[in-house]
Amino acid sequence: MRDPLIDSSVTLGVTGSIACYKAADLASRLVRAGAKLDVIMTEGALRFLNPITFAAITHRPVVTSLFDPQSELAMDHVALARRSDVIIVAPASADALAKAAWGFAGDALSATLLAAEAPVIFAPAMDANMYDNAATQENVSRLVSRGVVIAGPEEGRLASGLIGRGRMLEPAALVDHVRIALSRHGDLAGRKVVVSAGGTQEPMDPVRVVTNRSSGKMGFAVARAARDRGASVVVVSAPTALPAPTGIDVLRVETALEMMDAVNAQCEDADVLVMAAAVADWRPSGAADRKLKKGTARSLTVEMMRNPDIVASVRKDIVKVGFAAETEDVIENAHGKLVDKELDLVAANDVTSADVGFGSDTNRVVLMDRDGGVMELGLLDKYEVGHHILDKVARML
């Protein structure tokens, strides 16, 4: 498995809103991720942007009318509806929502939506009063009740200068909505995957912590890969700078003990646990409740106590994956962890190698399973590493 956008057929409907300029970025991101993209522009969209913008991005003709004799739709008016794996309307104006809600079919986008069996996503963008108006809200409810996804809008500064609900979601988030729609029949559909991420922070006093260099990137990448195979995903994350990815619940914790509670609670109804967090092996025994004063002391001795092993504390009847970050004897040490922690799979890596250091976007791991299977992966993006891990997990379920 890999990014569900690769070789997918996506139709992007662009309607009349100033957020049109962001649709060009969205189109570019979809194409770069591997989608075959068709664009339909409504009359309103044509007032804001020239179709050449999208033609240059997609390398395909842009549909601007249901009745253009040059258009593919002139010969087969439901061609795009049939071909699409997913349709996203972004920006979606109030008018576009109303037309879809009431089944209008007088323009190329409305007709395509009416004929489509593929999942449909609307990304509304409009003035806050227009969005909050009962008419628009009824149209939104009507569409939602038919299984349409309404992605956004967000609160924020609108083109009118006012602050309100009506801003289109950012293109990166919309690309993730498309991935989620494409993966609804993925090999982890109906499964719950819990992923831990980041390096725990163990307090010494209210201002100081003992921690490690984990960035959380590996765990978040596994989580995105699981989401993109249809799983419902919860990340239990120690402090990281990473925002919650679209469609993934992120529970933020600090210490190993907090992580243990959260992971165990989440695993009650989970099918898979991937422990990508760097859990501190030790915590200062008895954190001071006031800031430790340096005074005139020349040295400080901190007594540490052992943290419990989280992965070993979790139910035995789910698939468990661990990571082994090693600096020597990688294979032997990782195999020891597979056995001691009763894991189904371990992803081992040599953290001394420069291209896979903490915080990097790539990793080079060796996957080892219980049956003695060893698979050495080359240098890969962490998201791809996540998919390799989940290829094995999906077979174990």
Could you tell me whether strands 319-326 and 272-275 are parallel, antiparallel, or unpaired per DSSP bridges? parallel
Q: Count of residues binding ligand C5P (CB under 6 A)?
A: 14
Task: Decide if residue 322 touches ligand C5P (CB under 6 A).
Answer: yes
Catalytic: 264? no
Question: Which of residues 40, 143, 279, 330 is near ligand C5P by CB under 6 A?
Answer: 279
Query: Residue 84 or 307: which CB sits closer to ligand C5P?
Result: 307
CB 239 within 8 A of CB 254: yes
Query: What's the start-to-end Cα distance of the chain, in Å?
Result: 16
Question: Which of residues 198, 323, 382, 390 is near ligand C5P by CB under 6 A?
Answer: 323
Task: Decide if residue 367 touches ligand C5P (CB under 6 A).
Answer: no
Q: How far is CA 288 from CA 181, 223, 255, 280, 296, in A?
A: 49, 35, 15, 18, 18
Owner of token pair 């020349």: 298
Min dist. Cβ of residue 286 to ligand C5P (A): 19
Q: Which range, of 33-41, 271-279, 350-358, 365-373, touches ligand C5P by CB under 6 A?
A: 271-279
Handedness of CA 90, 96, 99, 102 (dihedral sign): positive
Min dist. Cβ of residue 378 to ligand C5P (A): 22
SS3 50: coil
Query: Residue 26 or 356: which CB sits closer to ligand C5P?
Result: 356
Backbone angles phi, psi at 345, to 5 degrees: -155, 140
Min dist. Cβ of residue 387 to ligand C5P (A): 18
Could you tell me whether strands 149-150 and 120-124 are parallel, antiparallel, or unpaired per DSSP bridges? parallel
Query: Which of these, 271, 274, 227, 264, lies nearest to 249 by C-alpha position?
Result: 227
Cα(18)–Cα(259) distance, integer angstroms: 44
Token duo for residue 266: 């989440």
Handedness of CA 236, 188, 222, 369 (dihedral sign): positive
Min dist. Cβ of residue 381 to ligand C5P (A): 20
The full DSSP string for 315-329 is -TTSEEEEEEEESSS
Task: Decide if residue 324 touches ligand C5P (CB under 6 A).
Answer: yes
Q: Which range, of 185-193, 226-234, 302-310, 352-360, touches ligand C5P by CB under 6 A?
A: 302-310
CB 8 within 8 A of CB 86: yes
Question: Which of residues 337, 382, 387, 388 is near ligand C5P by CB under 6 A?
Answer: 337
Min dist. Cβ of residue 232 to ligand C5P (A): 21
Cα(148)–Cα(90) distance, integer angstroms: 14
Task: Decide if residue 193 touches ligand C5P (CB under 6 A).
Answer: no
Query: Residue 60 or 341: which CB sits closer to ligand C5P?
Result: 341
The C-alpha R_g of the chain, in whole angstroms, comes to 25
Q: Which of 50, 129, 133, 212 is catalytic?
A: 212
Cα(216)–Cα(196) distance, integer angstroms: 9
Task: Decide if residue 220 touches ligand C5P (CB under 6 A).
Answer: no
Question: Which of residues 5, 148, 256, 270 is near ligand C5P by CB under 6 A?
Answer: 256
Q: Which range, of 10-18, 57-65, 227-235, 303-311, touches ligand C5P by CB under 6 A?
A: 303-311
Token duo for residue 228: 């993109």
Min dist. Cβ of residue 259 to ligand C5P (A): 8
Question: Which of residues 14, 123, 253, 310 is near ligand C5P by CB under 6 A?
Answer: 310
Which residues of this chain interact with ligand C5P, rule CB under 6 A?
A: 196, 256, 275, 277, 279, 307, 309-311, 322-324, 337, 341
Instruction: List, by residue number, the catalytic residues.
Output: 212
